Chains A and B, each alone.
Chain A
């Protein structure tokens, strides 16, 4: 059983092709810009069986085409790494392509086992500057960087994702640091720049939380282009999502 917050059956942004995205309940981070704050609370979610998930995937199989599959996102799916192992194993047995969308902060034996079965890891790097990372997330970035290192060692394909928050994570030096750091890792297949949006902000209000990024504007096209051009030389492929 894994605890699921919700499903999106037409996922077009979380890995290759059309994907069934399972948003798992619970996250160990609390990012200021989190668009799904209702997935952060560690408790709750709908208990969902392996069979249910495999069946959903089977029903959707024709929609996956040649590239698509299932993505576990969240929240932070690796909070439930132990429970995910049999789920992902079962999906792989049925021949499905599986991605995990993670903040990369959890690396235990369960995660290591899970990584054997996963096809692509979508890894969110929130910030390269530890201090700023702390400010944005409430935690240090050393675990994420170590996780990335581990994935490089086991040669696991990674799509890196970086949310560009104006005034928070778009400093040009920081972007260069990001590029330099990962340009040495061969397993990074591409970088996805994720524009900042405040689409989730109404949820904060609903939950009685304060939205700390109140007043931060969405990125201008120019800001996106600048970041794109800075980061482009460091990666095999780069897109703005």
Chain B
């Protein structure tokens, strides 16, 4: 610790594990513009071209370059791996070879076997033997106790994407801790925590003691991982290069042990800036080298891979890893957190080209420096690779200035709080229960008891609403039961010991529920209320179509008559979830987010009263349905902005696509207008915005000539994907979305 003490202003962080305090005491907020930035070095270019080559091979080989079918991935498994050793300033790969994927069977052995067999490979007999006959997995645990009801909800598409056969992810370790303290100090701190966990040995205490013991073992393994690469992680980092390297090693440990859907990085850029600033001031590095550290770090984050089976692609398209890095925001004391390294991170999108990963997330505050806002706007226009989240809103509501974004849109205080990922439930399909006496509209199976048949096929708003409330209540109940089971089992069989070792002992927990289909529900209820809607039924009496007479306002046009319905439903359902008890007393939160599951939800949902035909994709996240936002982009943004963050604390995703010309006639105007729009949208307490600035024709061309667009990136719902990695169906869905055009 001694050297570090001399380097930086000391305070509370020297007495306790407290990275936030370190950042506050030592950060250098930056007001300037982007002119200081450097391009890629020759080394960076060479390394990235090797990666690009490998990525191309991966694409050509059914999306997977290779798989290790012998070694079970753990923190310290695998020999050291390099892209090209002599060029690398920041080292470390998940396996011993670039883009080689590893097995993590603790989530479920069947999934690993399937993922391998889909690539024509077989899991080694030894591993199969262990996981089939001796070790129990998360997946085994969950399915041992799932009720028939949950199974039904799951298979019919009321609950989708539940993390019951893969890792739940979403937990963010405070990867900065490794750099600031080193392993030895972190082990000491955890040992002290463990020693303090005494008293009556109830379930809770015993469980926690075991968890902390696991964490201490994990820290030991992270040290071993460092040794593999010749790094002494036992001590704190003492230079910018080491700080970047140490943070990456901590993150690497996490993605070696776990294959969660989303494995966010946190908010490391303002932290790393402190070391870079120190080295720059002392003349030990140049700006070019500083950028190179970040470029190489980001390159490593871009080649993180998990072993997935093909079906996974339906809900999370494009092989995402959600290495979400939250950049910017402000401090509680009123200063902002924009540093030169905030710029350097975004600069990687130029130095290495556009990319979906890491998932660059700018925490937008009205008070961020204009220069930074302009730079973001320019990068968005050039690369469509940034998402924005409302820092003013999150800081006010959650009372923290040291948070990251888990997955797409979810607030998570770093090192103090974790969350349990809850996938999502289909509220549009739930609405159909209300018109079908509680039966699933596609299978005819009874899902919810006690919903009366409607008095007439001409829908009456009050009657449908009354039924919908009954349906929502039951869906919430079953959803909650499944969550409690899943997280109980995940803790038991696939505990995130590496990440949790970098989080306070016994942190606060959010249980992150989610909903899909909100815009369809709002429009359907609006149609029933403002127009005449008649149900068409089949012989079984199930709804197959809806005949609408007359006009009705649609969500997305800044019309309170329908927007308020969306607000109300999200509030009602959130309230229902809040009333239910949770595993580990997690605090329930809810997101309005679909990832790319809006396509698959559409397939699993019959015709809806808004006139949407069976099978048609939902709008993503909280977006209005495609083509129904008739008054242009701002009216559409205004509608979404009405959704109340307090009712959806896990986040409200809005994906916005606009053709470049519609932002204005020339570059300066476009940049300025986008900044104005973002300031305005977030001043209305909106939560999140994905920004795509591109032409539909470009995407159409990319569909036909994928080879020419290897890095074309597009924001979908809370994350970004390589457009060419989407299935044709998903590509068509993206193209069919509203591209705001005022031409």
Interface residues of A (CB under 8 A from B): 6-13, 17-18, 20-21, 56, 59-60, 62-65, 68, 197, 199, 239-241
Contacts and interface: CB of A to CB of B under 8 A. Distances in A.
19 contacts: A9-B558, A9-B633, A9-B635, A9-B636, A10-B658, A11-B742, A12-B669, A17-B676, A18-B634, A56-B558, A59-B558, A59-B638, A60-B558, A60-B635, A60-B680, A62-B680, A62-B684, A63-B634, A241-B665
Interface in B652-668: 658, 662-666
Given A13-B665, A59-B638, A18 B632 contact: no
A169 to B, nearest CB: 20
Contact of B663 (A12, A62, A63): A12
Nearest to A199: B743
A238 B673 CA distance: 20
**Chain B CB within 10 Å, residue with most, of A18, A60, A64, A241:** A18
A8 B684 CA distance: 20
Nearest to A10: B633
Nearest to A197: B743
Contacts of B684: 62
Contact of A62 (B632, B666, B669, B679): B679
B632 A10 contact: yes
B665 A20 contact: no
Interface in B10-48: none
A18 B672 CA distance: 10
A7 B632 contact: yes
B664 A12 contact: yes
B632 A9 contact: yes
B676 A13 contact: no
B736 interface: no
Contacts of B632: 7-11
B170 to A, nearest CB: 32
B742 A8 contact: yes
Contacts of A12: 662-665, 669, 673, 742
Nearest to A11: B742
**Chain A CB within 10 Å, residue with most, of B630, B634, B664, B673:** B634
A59 B632 CA distance: 14
Given A7-B632, A12-B673, A12-B742, A63 B558 contact: no
A60 B634 contact: yes
Nearest to B669: A12
A11 B665 CA distance: 11
Cβ-closest 4 pairs across A and B: A62-B680, A9-B634, A9-B632, A65-B676
A197 B661 CA distance: 14
Nearest to B682: A62
Contact of A18 (B635, B666, B676): B676
A21 B633 CA distance: 12
Interface of B: 558, 630-638, 658, 662-666, 669, 673, 676-677, 679-681, 683-684, 740, 742-743
A8 B680 CA distance: 17
A56 B636 CA distance: 12
A6 B665 contact: no
Q: Decide if the interface of chain B is mainly helix, strand, loop or mixed.
A: helix
B490 to A, nearest CB: 43
Given A12-B663, A60-B638, 16 more contacts: A8-B742, A9-B638, A10-B740, A11-B632, A12-B662, A18-B634, A18-B677, A21-B742, A56-B558, A60-B635, A60-B680, A63-B676, A63-B677, A64-B680, A239-B666, A240-B665
**Chain A CB within 10 Å, residue with most, of B635, B681, B684, B740:** B635
Contacts of A6: 630-631
Contacts of A68: 676
A17 B635 CA distance: 16
B695 to A, nearest CB: 14
Contacts of A13: 664-665, 742
B635 A7 contact: yes
A6 B684 CA distance: 24
A63 B632 CA distance: 13
Nearest to B670: A12
Given A9-B631, A9-B634, A10-B742, A63 B680 contact: yes
Contacts of A56: 558, 635
Contacts of A17: 673, 676
Contacts of A9: 558, 631-636, 638
**Chain A CB within 10 Å, residue with most, of B633, B636, B679:** B633
Nearest to A16: B669
Contacts of B673: 12, 17-18
Contacts of B631: 6-9
Nearest to B642: A59
A10 B743 contact: no
A128 B41 CA distance: 57
Nearest to B635: A9
A64 B665 CA distance: 17
B518 to A, nearest CB: 20
A36 B84 CA distance: 59
Contacts of B658: 10
B740 A65 contact: no
A12 B558 CA distance: 19
Contacts of B743: 197, 199
Contacts of B635: 7, 9, 56, 60
A197 B680 CA distance: 32
Given A9-B634, A12-B663, A62 B683 contact: yes
B120 to A, nearest CB: 49
A20 B664 contact: no
**Chain B CB within 10 Å, residue with most, of A60, A64, A68:** A60
A205 B634 CA distance: 30
Nearest to A60: B634
A164 to B, nearest CB: 15
Contacts of A64: 676, 680
A236 B664 CA distance: 20
Nearest to B633: A10
A197 B741 CA distance: 15
Contacts of B637: 63
A20 B634 contact: yes
B629 to A, nearest CB: 9
A68 B672 CA distance: 12
A134 B681 CA distance: 46
A6 B638 CA distance: 17
